A and B are shown apart, each in its own frame.
Chain A
Amino acid sequence: MGQKINPLGFRLGTTQNHHSFWFAQPKNYSEGLQEDKKIRNCIKNYIQKNRKKGSNRKMESDSSSEVITHIEIQKEIDTIHVIIHIGFPNLLKKKGAIEELEKDLQKEVNSVNQRLNISIEKVKEPYRQPNILAEYIAFQLKNRVSFRKAMKKAIELTKKADIKGIKIQIAGRLAGKEIARAECIKKGRLPLQTIRAKIDYCCYPIRTIYGVLGVKIWIFVEEE
Protein backbone atom coordinates (compact mmCIF):
# COMPACT_ATOMS: atom_id res chain seq x y z
CA MET A 1 0.00 0.00 0.00
CA GLY A 2 1.33 3.47 -0.82
CA GLN A 3 0.65 6.78 0.82
CA LYS A 4 -2.03 9.03 -0.61
CA ILE A 5 -1.50 12.71 -0.91
CA ASN A 6 -4.20 15.08 0.27
CA PRO A 7 -6.29 15.67 -2.89
CA LEU A 8 -6.90 19.31 -1.97
CA GLY A 9 -3.20 20.07 -1.79
CA PHE A 10 -2.56 18.13 -4.95
CA ARG A 11 -4.92 20.30 -6.98
CA LEU A 12 -4.09 23.71 -5.52
CA GLY A 13 -2.88 25.20 -8.79
CA THR A 14 -5.79 24.13 -10.91
CA THR A 15 -9.13 22.89 -9.64
CA GLN A 16 -8.71 23.98 -6.04
CA ASN A 17 -8.38 27.54 -4.79
CA HIS A 18 -6.62 28.80 -1.71
CA HIS A 19 -8.92 29.69 1.14
CA SER A 20 -6.77 32.61 2.28
CA PHE A 21 -6.07 34.89 -0.60
CA TRP A 22 -3.78 37.76 0.28
CA PHE A 23 -0.24 38.86 -0.27
CA ALA A 24 2.40 39.95 2.18
CA GLN A 25 6.11 40.37 1.87
CA PRO A 26 8.06 37.50 3.45
CA LYS A 27 8.98 39.74 6.40
CA ASN A 28 5.36 40.29 7.42
CA TYR A 29 3.99 36.96 6.33
CA SER A 30 3.98 35.30 9.74
CA GLU A 31 1.85 38.06 11.28
CA GLY A 32 -0.75 37.66 8.56
CA LEU A 33 -0.81 33.92 9.08
CA GLN A 34 -1.32 34.26 12.80
CA GLU A 35 -4.16 36.68 12.23
CA ASP A 36 -5.79 34.20 9.90
CA LYS A 37 -5.50 31.44 12.45
CA LYS A 38 -7.03 33.60 15.16
CA ILE A 39 -9.94 34.57 12.94
CA ARG A 40 -10.72 30.98 12.06
CA ASN A 41 -10.49 29.76 15.64
CA CYS A 42 -12.66 32.59 16.87
CA ILE A 43 -15.40 31.81 14.38
CA LYS A 44 -15.39 28.12 15.18
CA ASN A 45 -15.50 28.77 18.91
CA TYR A 46 -18.38 31.16 18.48
CA ILE A 47 -20.43 28.59 16.63
CA GLN A 48 -19.66 25.88 19.14
CA LYS A 49 -20.65 28.16 22.01
CA ASN A 50 -23.96 28.96 20.39
CA ARG A 51 -24.63 25.36 19.60
CA LYS A 52 -24.24 24.48 23.25
CA LYS A 53 -26.57 27.28 24.22
CA GLY A 54 -29.17 26.03 21.78
CA SER A 55 -28.88 22.40 22.76
CA ASN A 56 -29.38 23.08 26.45
CA ARG A 57 -32.99 23.70 25.67
CA LYS A 58 -33.57 20.69 23.50
CA MET A 59 -31.14 18.19 25.06
CA GLU A 60 -30.24 17.12 21.54
CA SER A 61 -27.86 18.72 19.15
CA ASP A 62 -29.59 19.20 15.90
CA SER A 63 -27.87 17.26 13.19
CA SER A 64 -28.87 19.86 10.67
CA SER A 65 -27.19 22.68 12.52
CA GLU A 66 -24.49 24.90 11.21
CA VAL A 67 -21.51 23.31 9.66
CA ILE A 68 -18.83 25.53 8.29
CA THR A 69 -17.45 24.16 5.07
CA HIS A 70 -14.72 26.71 4.77
CA ILE A 71 -13.77 30.24 5.68
CA GLU A 72 -12.32 32.45 3.00
CA ILE A 73 -10.17 35.36 4.02
CA GLN A 74 -9.13 38.12 1.66
CA LYS A 75 -7.05 40.98 2.86
CA GLU A 76 -6.80 44.30 1.17
CA ILE A 77 -5.06 47.46 2.29
CA ASP A 78 -7.72 48.59 4.71
CA THR A 79 -10.26 45.78 4.96
CA ILE A 80 -10.33 42.13 5.83
CA HIS A 81 -13.08 40.24 4.03
CA VAL A 82 -14.17 37.10 5.81
CA ILE A 83 -16.58 34.90 3.85
CA ILE A 84 -18.04 32.03 5.84
CA HIS A 85 -19.48 29.22 3.79
CA ILE A 86 -22.09 27.45 5.85
CA GLY A 87 -24.39 24.52 5.23
CA PHE A 88 -27.50 25.34 7.18
CA PRO A 89 -27.28 28.90 8.41
CA ASN A 90 -29.94 28.85 11.09
CA LEU A 91 -28.12 30.38 14.03
CA LEU A 92 -26.35 33.04 12.08
CA LYS A 93 -29.51 34.36 10.51
CA LYS A 94 -30.61 35.72 13.84
CA LYS A 95 -30.24 39.43 13.93
CA GLY A 96 -27.53 40.10 16.47
CA ALA A 97 -25.36 37.19 15.52
CA ILE A 98 -23.17 38.74 12.85
CA GLU A 99 -22.51 41.85 14.90
CA GLU A 100 -21.55 39.75 17.88
CA LEU A 101 -19.15 37.82 15.69
CA GLU A 102 -17.67 41.05 14.42
CA LYS A 103 -17.12 42.32 17.94
CA ASP A 104 -15.47 39.08 18.99
CA LEU A 105 -13.23 39.13 15.98
CA GLN A 106 -12.23 42.75 16.48
CA LYS A 107 -11.09 41.91 19.98
CA GLU A 108 -9.05 38.97 18.78
CA VAL A 109 -7.43 40.58 15.84
CA ASN A 110 -6.51 43.88 17.52
CA SER A 111 -6.60 45.67 14.24
CA VAL A 112 -6.72 49.41 14.40
CA ASN A 113 -6.11 50.05 10.75
CA GLN A 114 -8.36 47.48 9.25
CA ARG A 115 -12.09 47.08 9.07
CA LEU A 116 -13.59 43.64 9.23
CA ASN A 117 -16.21 42.70 6.72
CA ILE A 118 -17.98 39.43 7.45
CA SER A 119 -20.36 37.87 4.99
CA ILE A 120 -22.09 34.53 5.05
CA GLU A 121 -22.70 32.39 2.03
CA LYS A 122 -25.00 29.48 2.01
CA VAL A 123 -23.57 26.43 0.36
CA LYS A 124 -25.66 25.42 -2.61
CA GLU A 125 -25.83 21.68 -2.18
CA PRO A 126 -24.98 20.93 1.42
CA TYR A 127 -24.76 17.19 0.95
CA ARG A 128 -22.06 17.55 -1.63
CA GLN A 129 -19.68 18.97 0.95
CA PRO A 130 -17.60 16.42 2.80
CA ASN A 131 -17.53 18.56 5.95
CA ILE A 132 -21.27 18.40 6.34
CA LEU A 133 -21.38 14.67 5.72
CA ALA A 134 -18.62 14.15 8.28
CA GLU A 135 -20.61 16.07 10.89
CA TYR A 136 -23.63 13.96 10.08
CA ILE A 137 -21.65 10.76 10.58
CA ALA A 138 -20.20 12.11 13.82
CA PHE A 139 -23.67 12.84 15.11
CA GLN A 140 -24.82 9.34 14.23
CA LEU A 141 -21.82 7.68 15.84
CA LYS A 142 -22.30 9.62 19.04
CA ASN A 143 -25.81 8.24 19.19
CA ARG A 144 -24.32 4.76 19.05
CA VAL A 145 -25.53 3.82 15.59
CA SER A 146 -23.47 1.04 14.06
CA PHE A 147 -20.77 2.63 11.94
CA ARG A 148 -21.66 0.78 8.76
CA LYS A 149 -25.22 2.01 9.00
CA ALA A 150 -23.96 5.51 9.57
CA MET A 151 -21.80 5.36 6.45
CA LYS A 152 -24.64 3.95 4.37
CA LYS A 153 -27.03 6.66 5.55
CA ALA A 154 -24.51 9.30 4.65
CA ILE A 155 -24.17 7.86 1.16
CA GLU A 156 -27.94 7.85 0.75
CA LEU A 157 -27.98 11.55 1.54
CA THR A 158 -25.64 12.18 -1.33
CA LYS A 159 -27.81 10.40 -3.85
CA LYS A 160 -30.01 13.46 -4.17
CA ALA A 161 -27.04 15.70 -4.86
CA ASP A 162 -25.31 14.99 -8.16
CA ILE A 163 -22.23 13.09 -7.25
CA LYS A 164 -20.19 10.87 -9.49
CA GLY A 165 -18.30 9.05 -6.78
CA ILE A 166 -17.81 8.94 -3.05
CA LYS A 167 -15.59 7.11 -0.60
CA ILE A 168 -15.97 7.17 3.16
CA GLN A 169 -13.30 5.71 5.40
CA ILE A 170 -13.58 5.36 9.18
CA ALA A 171 -10.55 4.27 11.15
CA GLY A 172 -10.06 3.53 14.81
CA ARG A 173 -11.75 1.53 17.51
CA LEU A 174 -14.89 0.73 15.58
CA ALA A 175 -17.76 -0.29 17.85
CA GLY A 176 -15.40 0.03 20.78
CA LYS A 177 -13.35 -3.03 19.88
CA GLU A 178 -9.87 -3.31 21.31
CA ILE A 179 -8.17 -3.82 17.98
CA ALA A 180 -8.47 -0.81 15.73
CA ARG A 181 -9.10 -1.16 12.06
CA ALA A 182 -10.19 0.86 9.07
CA GLU A 183 -13.38 0.30 7.11
CA CYS A 184 -14.35 2.00 3.93
CA ILE A 185 -17.31 2.17 1.58
CA LYS A 186 -17.00 3.29 -2.02
CA LYS A 187 -19.53 4.19 -4.66
CA GLY A 188 -19.01 5.35 -8.21
CA ARG A 189 -15.66 6.50 -9.54
CA LEU A 190 -12.96 8.33 -7.72
CA PRO A 191 -10.01 9.20 -9.97
CA LEU A 192 -7.52 10.49 -7.42
CA GLN A 193 -4.69 10.65 -9.93
CA THR A 194 -6.58 12.87 -12.37
CA ILE A 195 -5.74 16.45 -11.54
CA ARG A 196 -8.56 18.00 -13.53
CA ALA A 197 -11.13 15.97 -11.57
CA LYS A 198 -12.77 18.06 -8.87
CA ILE A 199 -12.42 16.08 -5.69
CA ASP A 200 -13.48 17.39 -2.31
CA TYR A 201 -11.86 15.91 0.73
CA CYS A 202 -12.31 16.21 4.43
CA CYS A 203 -10.61 14.61 7.40
CA TYR A 204 -12.62 14.83 10.58
CA PRO A 205 -11.78 13.43 14.02
CA ILE A 206 -14.60 12.10 16.19
CA ARG A 207 -14.07 11.72 19.90
CA THR A 208 -15.74 8.73 21.47
CA ILE A 209 -15.36 7.22 24.89
CA TYR A 210 -13.05 4.60 23.41
CA GLY A 211 -10.77 7.05 21.70
CA VAL A 212 -10.64 8.98 18.46
CA LEU A 213 -12.14 7.80 15.20
CA GLY A 214 -10.85 9.38 12.04
CA VAL A 215 -13.34 9.92 9.27
CA LYS A 216 -12.07 10.67 5.79
CA ILE A 217 -14.47 11.49 2.99
CA TRP A 218 -13.61 11.88 -0.66
CA ILE A 219 -16.29 13.19 -3.02
CA PHE A 220 -15.83 13.26 -6.77
CA VAL A 221 -17.97 16.14 -7.86
CA GLU A 222 -17.41 16.59 -11.56
CA GLU A 223 -14.76 16.34 -14.17
CA GLU A 224 -13.10 19.57 -15.28
Chain B
Amino acid sequence: MAAADLAYAPPMKSGKAGFEAGLMDPQHRIRITLSSRSVKNLEKVCGDLVKGAKGKDLKIKGPVRMPTKVLHITTRKSPCGEGTNTWDRFEMRIHKRVIDLISTPDVVKQITSITIEPGVEVEVTISDA
Protein backbone atom coordinates (compact mmCIF):
# COMPACT_ATOMS: atom_id res chain seq x y z
CA MET B 1 0.00 0.00 0.00
CA ALA B 2 2.84 2.31 0.75
CA ALA B 3 4.14 1.74 -2.74
CA ALA B 4 0.73 2.62 -4.20
CA ASP B 5 0.66 5.78 -2.14
CA LEU B 6 4.04 6.77 -3.43
CA ALA B 7 2.93 6.08 -6.99
CA TYR B 8 -0.04 8.43 -6.64
CA ALA B 9 1.73 11.16 -4.75
CA PRO B 10 2.27 14.35 -6.74
CA PRO B 11 5.88 15.18 -7.69
CA MET B 12 7.46 16.67 -4.59
CA LYS B 13 9.89 19.53 -4.43
CA SER B 14 13.10 18.16 -3.05
CA GLY B 15 14.07 18.87 0.52
CA LYS B 16 11.45 21.46 1.44
CA ALA B 17 10.39 21.42 5.01
CA GLY B 18 6.81 22.39 5.69
CA PHE B 19 5.62 21.62 2.17
CA GLU B 20 1.83 21.67 2.06
CA ALA B 21 0.39 18.75 0.20
CA GLY B 22 -1.82 19.92 -2.62
CA LEU B 23 -1.76 22.60 -5.28
CA MET B 24 -1.89 25.60 -2.95
CA ASP B 25 1.16 27.74 -2.31
CA PRO B 26 0.62 29.93 0.74
CA GLN B 27 -2.11 32.36 -0.30
CA HIS B 28 -2.13 35.93 0.83
CA ARG B 29 -4.73 38.60 0.99
CA ILE B 30 -3.55 41.33 -1.29
CA ARG B 31 -5.04 44.79 -1.34
CA ILE B 32 -4.38 47.01 -4.33
CA THR B 33 -5.16 50.67 -3.83
CA LEU B 34 -5.34 52.81 -6.93
CA SER B 35 -5.47 56.58 -6.67
CA SER B 36 -5.58 59.11 -9.43
CA ARG B 37 -6.86 62.49 -10.46
CA SER B 38 -8.42 61.34 -13.69
CA VAL B 39 -11.33 58.93 -13.67
CA LYS B 40 -10.82 57.62 -17.20
CA ASN B 41 -7.30 56.30 -16.63
CA LEU B 42 -8.25 54.97 -13.23
CA GLU B 43 -11.21 53.01 -14.51
CA LYS B 44 -9.09 51.64 -17.32
CA VAL B 45 -6.45 50.32 -14.93
CA CYS B 46 -9.16 48.90 -12.68
CA GLY B 47 -10.77 47.10 -15.58
CA ASP B 48 -7.43 45.69 -16.74
CA LEU B 49 -6.56 44.43 -13.27
CA VAL B 50 -9.93 42.77 -12.83
CA LYS B 51 -9.69 41.13 -16.24
CA GLY B 52 -6.18 39.91 -15.55
CA ALA B 53 -7.18 38.45 -12.24
CA LYS B 54 -10.29 36.75 -13.61
CA GLY B 55 -8.21 35.30 -16.42
CA LYS B 56 -6.09 33.56 -13.82
CA ASP B 57 -9.15 32.49 -11.83
CA LEU B 58 -8.31 34.32 -8.66
CA LYS B 59 -10.81 35.26 -6.03
CA ILE B 60 -11.29 38.96 -6.47
CA LYS B 61 -13.38 41.51 -4.66
CA GLY B 62 -14.30 44.01 -7.31
CA PRO B 63 -13.19 47.63 -7.45
CA VAL B 64 -14.59 49.32 -4.36
CA ARG B 65 -14.99 53.00 -5.04
CA MET B 66 -13.94 55.12 -2.10
CA PRO B 67 -15.49 58.59 -1.81
CA THR B 68 -13.61 61.17 -3.89
CA LYS B 69 -11.62 63.65 -1.89
CA VAL B 70 -11.94 67.21 -3.08
CA LEU B 71 -9.06 69.41 -2.00
CA HIS B 72 -9.92 73.12 -2.11
CA ILE B 73 -7.66 76.12 -2.34
CA THR B 74 -9.42 79.47 -2.17
CA THR B 75 -7.35 82.57 -2.86
CA ARG B 76 -7.99 86.22 -3.58
CA LYS B 77 -7.74 86.94 -7.27
CA SER B 78 -6.17 90.31 -6.70
CA PRO B 79 -2.41 90.71 -6.16
CA CYS B 80 -3.15 93.77 -4.04
CA GLY B 81 -6.05 94.37 -1.68
CA GLU B 82 -7.92 96.73 -3.96
CA GLY B 83 -11.17 96.06 -5.77
CA THR B 84 -14.22 93.96 -5.14
CA ASN B 85 -13.25 90.94 -3.13
CA THR B 86 -13.17 88.26 -5.80
CA TRP B 87 -11.93 84.80 -4.93
CA ASP B 88 -10.54 81.97 -7.02
CA ARG B 89 -11.72 78.54 -6.01
CA PHE B 90 -9.34 75.81 -7.14
CA GLU B 91 -9.99 72.17 -6.46
CA MET B 92 -8.25 68.88 -6.98
CA ARG B 93 -10.28 65.69 -7.03
CA ILE B 94 -8.62 62.48 -5.88
CA HIS B 95 -10.36 59.25 -6.81
CA LYS B 96 -9.54 56.03 -5.04
CA ARG B 97 -10.36 52.45 -5.86
CA VAL B 98 -9.58 49.35 -3.80
CA ILE B 99 -9.26 45.83 -5.20
CA ASP B 100 -8.83 42.78 -2.96
CA LEU B 101 -7.27 39.59 -4.29
CA ILE B 102 -6.50 36.25 -2.71
CA SER B 103 -3.50 34.75 -4.41
CA THR B 104 0.24 34.33 -4.30
CA PRO B 105 2.37 37.44 -4.49
CA ASP B 106 4.14 36.34 -7.71
CA VAL B 107 0.95 36.30 -9.71
CA VAL B 108 0.09 39.74 -8.46
CA LYS B 109 3.47 41.10 -9.50
CA GLN B 110 2.83 39.79 -12.99
CA ILE B 111 -0.55 41.45 -13.18
CA THR B 112 0.52 44.81 -11.80
CA SER B 113 3.55 45.02 -14.06
CA ILE B 114 1.38 44.82 -17.17
CA THR B 115 -0.98 47.69 -16.65
CA ILE B 116 0.75 50.98 -15.95
CA GLU B 117 -0.99 54.14 -17.00
CA PRO B 118 0.44 57.59 -16.39
CA GLY B 119 -1.16 59.47 -13.58
CA VAL B 120 -2.36 56.46 -11.58
CA GLU B 121 -0.68 55.51 -8.35
CA VAL B 122 -0.72 51.86 -7.38
CA GLU B 123 -0.12 50.67 -3.84
CA VAL B 124 -0.04 47.02 -2.93
CA THR B 125 -0.25 45.70 0.62
CA ILE B 126 0.10 42.03 1.39
CA SER B 127 -1.27 40.36 4.50
CA ASP B 128 -1.23 36.68 5.33
CA ALA B 129 -4.61 35.01 5.04
Q: Which residues of A contact B (CB under 8 A)?
A: 21-26, 74-77, 81
Contact = CB atoms under 8 A, between A and B. Distances in A.
B119 A74 contact: yes
B58 interface: no
A77 B120 CA distance: 10
B121 A25 contact: yes
Nearest 6 A/B pairs, CB to CB: A74-B118, A23-B121, A21-B119, A23-B119, A21-B118, A23-B36
Interface string B12-40: 00000000000000000000000111000
B36 A76 contact: no
SS class, residues of chain A in contact with chain B? loop
A145 to B, nearest CB: 33
Contact of B35 (A21, A25, A74): A25
B71 A81 contact: no
Contacts of A22: 118-119
B116 interface: yes
Given A25-B121, A26-B71, A76 B37 contact: no
Contact of B118 (A25, A26, A81): A81
Contacts of B118: 21-22, 74-76, 81
A28 B72 CA distance: 17
A23 B71 contact: no
